[in-house]
């Protein structure tokens, strides 16, 4: 018998009807970079089309995204002062704290604000926690003392109006530490999205330039995951779930679709994926060189992440993807 697989592809109406993967703008999250200072709106050289905003101007970026149909944001902060213990991460007048107050004042519930919880943008050495050791050879990121600082950061963000916190540091026990601290401060309903399966990846390069957060020595391989491992990713996902995470994230996205799929099959929590700076920058660069169709590659890459099992996508293309959904090209 001749099986006519093409029958279901014969019209756009039919193709749209039988789509197995559905995407909605409500599941998109746009990263936003807050920079300490005033009057700042400057394009990030490593992330074309993305901007550094000071708290007094961040509303321009939020409004532009809202107009495109994106209303969930992930906030990062770039402080003026960095020190060994990242104190601007949990300072009352820290950059994310200022940004949260400013956005909430102007937009209230129109903008849903998730904050990245990590110390690497705030430490002068660029590592995600405090250090222990006398010289570069025996220096390590000290897990347990870091937990307290991360927890302070999360509570501080909650006090300034954050709607969700997202620890990205990869310290052991941080989800439990944050949950305890948030509950203790009365934020029992604050949702926590864990960067549960976060690999030590070269795809973060453009972000580190944007955030000035590249480690000044060594790398992040003693806390972020080894790209060889998938089962270990599940172990990370399970421990964050057991510690009280509400949403599990896999990061990066495109090179780790197998991991997204495995996490989806092994948890009942919502699964998010972060299409990181290198994924965005590569697409932009290839398009600028005339090698690929940016719009098509963007749509197809987003679809791949959802098809693998993610229900939430964090991406620098959030606005453009929302527009593509509205046009009916995907979704």
208 part of the interface to ligand PBG, by CB under 6 A: yes
**Of 235, 251, 323, 327, which is the active-site residue?**
251
CB of 203 to ligand PBG, least distance (A): 6
User: Between residues 53 and 204, which has the closer beta carbon with respect to ligand PBG?
Assistant: 204
User: Between residues 21 and 229, which has the closer beta carbon with respect to ligand PBG?
Assistant: 229
Number of chain positions touching ligand PBG (CB under 6 A)? 10
Q: Give helix 174-184 / helix 231-243 axis angle, nearest 10°.
A: 20
**Of 41, 198, 221, 284, which is the active-site residue?**
198
What the block records as the tokens of 96 is 């994310």
Binding mask 120-159 for ligand PBG (x = CB under 6 A): x-------x-------------------------------
204 part of the interface to ligand PBG, by CB under 6 A: yes
User: Between residues 120 and 312, which has the closer beta carbon with respect to ligand PBG?
Assistant: 120
Q: Which residues contact 134 (CB under 8 A, 6 or more apart)?
A: none
Q: How many CA atoms lie within 13 A of 226 on its CB side?
A: 6
Is the peptide bond preceding residue 252 cis, with omega within 30 degrees of 0?
Answer: yes
277 part of the interface to ligand PBG, by CB under 6 A: yes
95 part of the interface to ligand PBG, by CB under 6 A: no
Burial of 133: CB neighbours in 10 Å, binned 0-12, 13-18, 19+: exposed
CA distance 239 to 243: 6
Annotated active-site residue 251? The verdict is yes
With H, G, I as helix, E, B as strand and everything else as coil, classify residue 78: strand
* Residue from 30, 250, 276, 310 binding ligand PBG (CB under 6 A): 276
SS (H, E, C) 235-302: HHHHHHHHHCCCEEEEECCHHHHHHHHHHHHHCCCCEEEEECHHHHHHHHHHHHCCCCCHHHHHHHHH
* Residue from 53, 187, 207, 256 binding ligand PBG (CB under 6 A): 207
Residues of the shown chain interacting with ligand PBG in the complex, contacts defined by CB under 6 A: 116, 118, 120, 128, 168, 204, 207-208, 276-277
Q: Which residues are catalytic?
A: 198, 251
């Amino acid at each position: 018998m001749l099986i006519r697989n093409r029958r279901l592809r014969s019209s756009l109406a039919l193709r749209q009807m039988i789509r197995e993967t559905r995407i909605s703008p409500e599941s998109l999250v746009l990263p936003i970079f807050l920079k300490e200072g005033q009057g700042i709106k400057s394009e990030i050289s490593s992330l074309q089309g993305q901007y550094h905003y000071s708290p007094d101007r961040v509303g321009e970026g939020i409004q532009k995204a809202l107009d495109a149909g994106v209303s969930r944001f992930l906030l990062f902060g770039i402080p003026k002062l960095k020190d060994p213990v990242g104190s601007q991460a949990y300072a009352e007048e820290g950059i994310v704290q200022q940004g949260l107050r400013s956005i909430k004042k102007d937009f209230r519930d129109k903008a849903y604000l998730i904050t990245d919880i990590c110390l690497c943008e705030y430490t002068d050495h660029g590592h995600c926690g405090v250090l222990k050791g006398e010289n570069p050879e025996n220096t390590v990121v000290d897990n347990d003392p870091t937990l307290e600082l991360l927890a302070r950061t999360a509570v501080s963000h909650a006090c300034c109006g954050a709607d969700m916190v997202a620890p990205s540091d990869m310290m052991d026990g941080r989800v439990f530490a944050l949950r305890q601290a948030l509950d203790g401060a009365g934020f029992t309903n604050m949702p926590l999205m864990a960067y549960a399966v976060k690999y030590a990846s070269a795809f973060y390069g453009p972000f580190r330039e944007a955030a000035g957060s590249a480690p000044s020595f060594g790398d992040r391989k003693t806390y972020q995951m080894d790209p060889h491992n998938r089962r270990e990713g599940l172990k990370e996902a399970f421990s964050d779930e057991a510690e009280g995470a509400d949403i599990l994230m896999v990061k990066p996205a495109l090179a780790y679709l197998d991991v997204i799929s495995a996490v989806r099959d092994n948890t009942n929590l919502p699964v998010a994926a972060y299409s990181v700076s290198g994924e965005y920058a590569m697409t932009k660069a290839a398009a600028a060189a005339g090698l690929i169709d940016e719009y098509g590659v963007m749509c197809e890459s987003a679809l791949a992440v959802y098809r693998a099992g993610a229900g939430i996508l964090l991406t620098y293309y959030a606005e453009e993807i929302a527009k593509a959904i509205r046009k009916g090209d995907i979704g």
